[in-house]
Amino acid sequence: MISWMQKHHKYMVWTIWVAAIGFIGAGSVGWGSLHFGSKASAIAKVGDIEITQQELNQAYSNLYAKYAQLFPNSFDEKMAKELGLIQQAFKATQIQAQLLNFAKQNGIIVTDKEVAQTIEHIPAFQINGKFDKKAYKTFLTTKRMRAKDFESNLKNDLTIQKTLNLLKVKPLNLELESAAASMNIADKIAYKIVTDKDINVTIDNDKLQEYWEKHKTIYKTVMTYELAIIWKEPKDINTTDDELKAYYDSNSFNFTDAQGRVLSFDEAKEQVKQELALKATKKSAQLDYIALKKGKIEQPSTTKMILGDKKLTSNIWKEIKERNSGDILKPKIINGKYAIIKIVAINKPHIKTFQEAKADVEKNYLQELTQSALIAKAESMVEKLQENSPIKTDFIKMNDFNKIKNLNKQESLQFLQKLFISNKQKGIITISNSKIVVYNIINQELKKADTNQTKIIQPIVDKLKSDIFQSNLIQELSTKYQTEVYAKGLLK
């Protein structure tokens, strides 16, 4: 997975600055101290724009949150370091600074009124669809941000958004027609579907053993933990509506729906009750934690869990991974109750014996044998397709998936997409490990695009042209506005 992410992260990092007000709701993730040079007030300068450590921390936090959302069960600080997330975050702030320089040079500004109007329309700062100043202040307090800093970040985001919007260029008619024409290439083909049912393979035990020897490092036991957990159910407490309302008023920002809208008191009432019940249980949970640590209470029976088991949260597993056998975690809230977790034992992965891994080895080896035989059979049929009673079609286009017999919709779409980007008149197209299509293009023609197709293709061309334009713009700005770095470890 790391190799995939390293290959594609250059495309993902753009999301940092493209999404206006992307920092709302993002958690704070620290990444260690920098080695500062003489200019401690800034870590870098791009053109006339300085980049502060706070801005870099925010970019890192946003990027970390996006990766963690994409890979919830596996992304952590170690992986972030391997991917060079600090350098990615700096690149994002560098791009932002380049665009702000460009906006400044060309007189593109965002007024305080525009910033205020944007804040008023953020769902997290609204109650019953209207801006609530208290919700806004609560947000700033929760995030430990000054209104001045938040609004400055927002103004920068809006400036970049306005700059890119002003630079949008509509596609030319010729571009639209060319793109639409690509949808109208039609092929008349002959094809034959070859499946694993056409293949007979047998497993030689000696070769199976050799296969395992070659690949045995991938056949490992899973990481497991033996955990002793004390569960503390929330206490039953009697609270008046006035007490619930008072707590809600002080913490209303914490009670939101899936869209980030602050819930009304009536909507959040049950959540408020649960939170107050948990607060009343906290002291008891802390006392049990201390008692378990001192050996004054009996350790509960252990439970064996696979690393990442959904019974615990990803944040708790992250902490467990950083701890040692015998450690006890401070009380954590899991599914509405407190848990005091002791790590009794850590069972690290080890390579399975041949007998332990045999079922999986046989499955993988058989799949590999079958696929190799399938490819060989399909390739042998390419030049002799006519002798194998192929199916012949009329002229078909990329979206004519319903005209491909003996393939389901998904398979037909996959086949046609690969067929129309291939530069070979005849060949094979792999649909899955167990299915290959042998084809031969008998004839080809280009049909004229109609008005509806041009309308359908326009948003795609708009996006493609915009992406290419922005990419070229950033490349041009990187040479126009020089970057001076005052801290180590920010550049690759």
Residue 389, exposed/middle/buried by CB under 10 A (0-12, 13-18, 19+)?
exposed
Q: How confident is the model at residue 451, as a pLDDT?
A: 63
Q: How confident is the model at residue 167, as a pLDDT?
A: 79
Residue 156 inside a domain? The answer is yes
Q: How confident is the model at residue 142, as a pLDDT?
A: 81
User: 128-147 burial string, b = 16+ CB within 10 Å, else e?
Assistant: eeeebeebbebbbeebebee
Residue 326 inside a domain? The answer is yes
Token pair for residue 321? 């991974």
Do 144 and 258 share a domain, yes or no? no
More confident residue, 194 or 78: 194
How far is 119 from 379, CA to CA, in rounded Å? 62
How far is 334 from 321, CA to CA, in rounded Å? 18
Q: How confident is the model at residue 108, as a pLDDT?
A: 94
User: 349-375 burial string, b = 16+ CB within 10 Å, else e?
Assistant: eeebeeeebeeebeebbeeebbbeebe
Specify the pairing of strand 391-392 against strand 483-485. Answer: unpaired
Total domains in the chain come to 3
Do 142 and 15 share a domain, yes or no? yes
Lowest mean pLDDT among 261-270, 280-289, 291-300: 261-270
Identify the band that residue 277 occupies on the pLDDT scale cut at 50, 70 and 90.
confident
User: 463-474 burial string, b = 16+ CB within 10 Å, else e?
Assistant: eebbeeebeebe
How far is 205 from 193, CA to CA, in rounded Å? 31
How far is 409 from 417, CA to CA, in rounded Å? 12
CATH number (domain holding residue 28) = 1.10.4030
Residue 11 has pLDDT above 90, yes or no: no
| Average pLDDT score, the chain | 84
Do 360 and 337 share a domain, yes or no? no
Torsion of CA 430, 436, 441, 446, to 10 degrees: -50
Q: How confident is the model at residue 460, as a pLDDT?
A: 76
Do 319 and 234 share a domain, yes or no? yes
Of 304, 332, 347, the residue that ends a domain is: 347
Do 322 and 431 share a domain, yes or no? no
Q: How confident is the model at residue 68, as a pLDDT?
A: 81
Residue 355 has pLDDT above 90, yes or no: yes
Specify the pairing of strand 130-131 against strand 483-485. Answer: unpaired
pTM score, whole prediction: 0.48
Do 228 and 209 share a domain, yes or no? no
Q: How confident is the model at residue 381, as a pLDDT?
A: 95
* Structural domain harbouring 191: 182-216+353-446
pLDDT tens string 379-410: 999 999 999 999 999 999 888 889 999 999 99
Do 327 and 309 share a domain, yes or no? yes
Q: How confident is the model at residue 97, as a pLDDT?
A: 94
Do 208 and 106 share a domain, yes or no? no
pLDDT tens string 121-164: 998 888 888 899 988 988 888 877 889 989 998 999 999 999 98
Of 347, 379, 394, the residue that ends a domain is: 347
More confident residue, 21 or 12: 12
Of 347, 375, 407, the residue that ends a domain is: 347
Identify the band that residue 35 occupies on the pLDDT scale cut at 50, 70 and 90.
very low
Residue 173 inside a domain? The answer is no
Do 278 and 241 share a domain, yes or no? yes
Do 317 and 376 share a domain, yes or no? no
Residue 161 inside a domain? The answer is yes
Residue 127 inside a domain? The answer is yes
Token pair for residue 393? 């079609």
**For residues 171-183, average pLDDT:** 72
Do 158 and 33 share a domain, yes or no? yes
Residue 15 has pLDDT above 50, yes or no: no
Residue 108 inside a domain? The answer is yes
User: Around 245, how many Cα atoms within 13 Å sit in the side-chain half-sphere?
Assistant: 4
Do 357 and 237 share a domain, yes or no? no
